[in-house]
Amino acid sequence: MSSPTRVLVLNSGSSSVKYQLLDARDSGRLATGLVERIGERTSRLKHTPAGGESRERTGRIADHEAALKAVAEELAADGLGLDSPELAAIGHRVVHGGLKFTEPTVVDDAVLAEIERLVPVAPLHNPANLTGIRTAQALRPDLPQVAVFDTAFHTTMPESAARYAIDTETADAHRIRRYGFHGTSHAYVSRETAKLLGRSPEEVNVIVLHLGNGASASAVEGGRCVDTSMGLTPLEGLVMGTRSGDMDPAVIFHLMRVGKMSADEIDTLLNKRSGLIGLCGDNDMREIRRRVDEGDERARLAFDIYIHRLKKYIGAYYAVLGRVDAIAFTAGVGENAAAVREAAVAGLAGLGLAVDAERNAGRGDGPRLISPEGARVAVAVVPTDEELEIATQTYALVGKNSR
């Protein structure tokens, strides 16, 4: 038999698991799916086999281990079970890899220990990633498990961008620096943007705006990341669905001293009850736009704060790069919310930035330009595909190791 070519990719979030089974030879998808609201009574698993009808399971799925077992059952029902000899590896998105992991890595006990050590700086993400890996190991102990790190793409940032201006000894003692996240997406989208322009990644400077529930911006110079908006943890930077992004760090001391809140309470406040949901009670951009259109003032202000921050990062990264060839909008909000894209570049004609209203309102599956004909800077919608990128990297590593 020829060597196996299929890769199962697991993207385990704090309360969700996204997965895809792909054939690495042709990037073809055999099945995709999502488990949402893990741990709640209203959990939902949606499984879609390639070319077939989607199936749904509802009802409580207690934890990530149960979620993965349910995923394995759904795959088995399509004859794509984890016991398949055609499976070459399982690829995992791991959010925090610190500075150690600059490349995709086959998981062993030392790698697991390092991911565990980084839990305090990625408390929403790394624990779920670990459970995903351990459950997959238990289901297929013979298969290579490959970790693909969100932080890897950002390890090229110069020290001037990566360091905070705090006491160096203290920073070094606690490994405090800016790591950046969503790197797999920033890498993929910046390359796809170059392709859209008909140029090689080395030739172009791109600002990537990854706007999902978590959101981050990056400045990519000739294919290398030179700055990004998330820092030690995925809390810094843009306004997000439930996270505050940038603010004066003294807000924390004030809440401790005057608000009598504990560190854990403030952590929860800033990570889970801030951002759009803290500002207006909704974190879904569709709902916020609907409310704005109805004249809701709180939703309007939340939207304006979100856009103001985004615009500041566009300006900052324009300055960091000096020359910008393209701005790429990606992830759930970036790919779908025309109103966000329009507002983010409104008034920036002086920087060569504009969107064409008709192009911006249009839809399409692949990467597309939304700037006017002949614009100095291309503005584009470039769908991200973290799962495909993880599968490609996983297969490249496993293939290399087996040769």
Ligand X SMILES: Nc1ncnc2c1ncn2[C@@H]1O[C@H](COP(=O)(O)OP(=O)(O)O)[C@@H](O)[C@H]1O
Ligand Y SMILES: CC(=O)OP(=O)(O)O
Q: Catalytic site residues? A: 150
Can you say whether the dihedral through the CA atoms of 11, 12, 14, 18 is positive or negative? positive
Q: Please choose which of ligand Y, ligand X, Mg ion, none residue 284 contacts, taking the beta carbon within 5 to 8 angstroms, the exact cut-off set by kind.
A: ligand X
Is 126 among the residues that bind ligand Y (CB under 6 A)? no
Binding mask 339-358 for ligand Y (x = CB under 6 A): --------------------
Q: Please choose which of ligand X, ligand Y, Mg ion, none residue 150 contacts, taking the beta carbon within 5 to 8 angstroms, the exact cut-off set by kind.
A: ligand Y
Taking CA atoms, 315 is separated from 219, 291, 319, 329, in Å, by 11, 28, 6, 15
Number of residues written out for the chain: 403
Scan residues 87-106 and list those touching ligand Y (CB under 6 A): 95
Identify the helix (H) or strand (E) that includes residue 191.
helix 183-196
Identify whether the C-beta of residue 65 lies closer than 8 Å to the C-beta of residue 55: no
Is 234 among the residues that bind ligand Y (CB under 6 A)? yes
Q: Is 204 exposed, middle or buried (0-12, 13-18, 19+ CB in 10 A)?
A: buried
Q: Compute the least distance from the CB of residue 371 to ligand Y, in Å.
A: 26
Exactly one of 183, 212, 245, 278 binds Mg ion (CB under 5 A); that residue is 212
Q: Please choose which of ligand Y, ligand X, Mg ion, none residue 337 contacts, taking the beta carbon within 5 to 8 angstroms, the exact cut-off set by kind.
A: ligand X
Identify the helix (H) or strand (E) that includes residue 184.
helix 183-196
Q: Compute the least distance from the CB of residue 235 to ligand Y, in Å.
A: 9
Scan residues 165-224 and list those touching ligand Y (CB under 6 A): 181-182, 212-214
Query: What's the rounded Cα separation, in Å, for the pair 37 and 284?
Result: 15
103 is in an annotated binding site: no
> Looking at 274-374, which runs of residues are DSSP E strands?
326-330, 368-369
Identify whether the C-beta of residue 83 lies closer than 8 Å to the C-beta of residue 77: no
Identify whether the C-beta of residue 183 lies closer than 8 Å to the C-beta of residue 154: yes
Decide whether 4 or 334 has the Cβ nearer to ligand X: 334
Decide whether 125 or 359 has the Cβ nearer to ligand Y: 125
386 is in an annotated binding site: yes
336 is in an annotated binding site: yes
Angle at 26 between CA 389 and CA 403, to 5 degrees: 80
333 is in an annotated binding site: yes
Q: Please choose which of ligand X, Mg ion, ligand Y, none residue 32 contacts, taking the beta carbon within 5 to 8 angstroms, the exact cut-off set by kind.
A: none
User: Which residues define the annotated binding site?
Assistant: 11, 18, 93, 210-214, 284-286, 332-336, 386
Chain contacts with ligand Y (rule: CB under 6 A): 13, 95, 125, 150, 181-182, 212-214, 234
